[in-house]
Amino acid sequence: MTMAPVLRTGVVILLGLTAAAAPVATPAGPVELSPAEAAKVVAGIEARRAKAQEWLRRDTTSYLATVDRRDFGEATTMTLGRAADNDLRLDADGIAAHHLRVTVEGARFRVEAVDPGATFTADGAPAREALVDPSSIRVGRLTLRLSHQNFPAIIVFDPESPRFAEYKGLDYYPVDVSYRFELPLTPNPSPEAIVIMSTRGTPRRAIRIGWFDFRLGGRAYRLEATRLVEPGIGEEAASVFFRDATSGVETYPLGRYVDAERLPDGRYLLDFNLAYNPACAYSTHYNCPLPPRANTLDVEIRAGEKDAHYH
């Protein structure tokens, strides 16, 4: 029997199959590590954090480098350049009056230089025309991210963005291996299409692929895993968008994300020390999924990234 979806805040829930009714695995406890193994894990996570700090502080694709965004909306073509009559004005050295025309073709983008002498760089090579997947291209000093998400947009990054002056680092809880789990994914017996709302008000298609069951402080918890159905999202992706009792207190109010990593034995690594804020915590130029209601936990997950208050 086909079940009709019912819209709730942030997610479409299909009647007839709820998290409570779905198969439940024995909740997994934190992974057991020797002191040497724990030290190696901590060092690896701290190295990743240091790299993220440096990326945010100076990288040309840092969240702080964003200076503009234009959604295609109902249009399929957008023009870019220094002239005021473009859909997206790019006011930087080396940009022609009418530099580019970008057209959405299915899940890809056709990029064409317009004015004589205008070029762009894609895949490291200069070009005047190219059909590209969702990715980034260079125009002069600017980087343009061709974002799809079934709601195409162009995000502009400038290495001279004034927002770099606002840099104040990232804030994290100390690494705690008691928040690290190696556990099975309880598969959804009938993986259904759902809709997750986003910060820009657009519905984003996803598949509820299953659930992770784990224990914290002697209590069992469950989080659903989803895979966004969008260009560029791999078949192995298992994303967990969640809120917990720290959300809006010590961590970002919207919630946080953690990506489950498939292990060689078929289980997954779910490490809340790797929980991170959505890009929207740092820039208004992104469109971020909202955690589904089912993924609101009544426990504090004091691991991963805190809110560094960039807004």
Is residue 16 pLDDT above 80, yes or no? no
| CATH number for the domain formed by residue range(s) 65-158 | 2.60.200.20
Mean of per-residue pLDDT scores for the chain: 92
Q: Are strands 77-81 and 100-105 parallel, antiparallel or unpaired?
A: antiparallel
- Return the H-helix or E-strand segment holding 154: strand 153-157
Compute the Cα dihedral for 148, 151, 152, 154 and give only its sign: negative
Residue spans of the domains in the chain: they are 5-57+169-295, 65-158
CA angle 257, 7, 229 (to 5 degrees): 50
Q: Residue 3 has what pLDDT?
A: 33
Taking the mean position of all CA atoms in its chain, how far away is CA 243? 15
Q: Residue 232 has what pLDDT?
A: 82
Q: Residue 31 has what pLDDT?
A: 96
Q: pLDDT band for position 9 (50/70/90)? A: very low
DSSP state of 43: H
Distance of alpha carbon 155 from alpha carbon 150, whole angstroms: 15
Instruction: Give the pLDDT mean for 66-85.
Output: 97
Give 183-220 pLDDT, tens digit per residue. 999 999 988 889 999 999 999 999 999 999 999 999 99
Is residue 305 pLDDT above 80, yes or no? yes
Return the bridge partners of 268, or none. Answer: 183, 262
Q: Residue 231 has what pLDDT?
A: 86
Contact 102, 78 (CB under 8 A): yes
Q: Residue 236 has what pLDDT?
A: 85
Q: Residue 22 has what pLDDT?
A: 67
Q: Residue 234 has what pLDDT?
A: 84
Give 227-279 pLDDT, tens digit per residue. 999 888 888 899 999 999 999 999 999 999 999 999 999 999 999 999 999 99
Q: Residue 17 has what pLDDT?
A: 45
Q: Residue 21 has what pLDDT?
A: 57
Give 19-39 pLDDT, tens digit per residue. 445 677 799 999 999 999 999
pTM of the shown model:
0.88
Contact 83, 97 (CB under 8 A): yes
Higher pLDDT, 160 or 15: 160
Lowest mean pLDDT across 20-29, 80-89, 114-123: 20-29
Contact 160, 141 (CB under 8 A): yes
Is residue 293 pLDDT above 90, yes or no? yes
Provide the 3-class DSSP secondary structure of residue 273.
helix
Other residues' Cβ atoms within 10 Å of the Cβ of residue 164: 16
DSSP state of 305: B
Percentage of the chain surpassing pLDDT 70?
Answer: 93
Is residue 107 pLDDT above 70, yes or no? yes
Q: Are strands 203-216 and 219-228 parallel, antiparallel or unpaired?
A: antiparallel
Distance of alpha carbon 184 from alpha carbon 197, whole angstroms: 27
Distance of alpha carbon 50 from alpha carbon 304, whole angstroms: 13
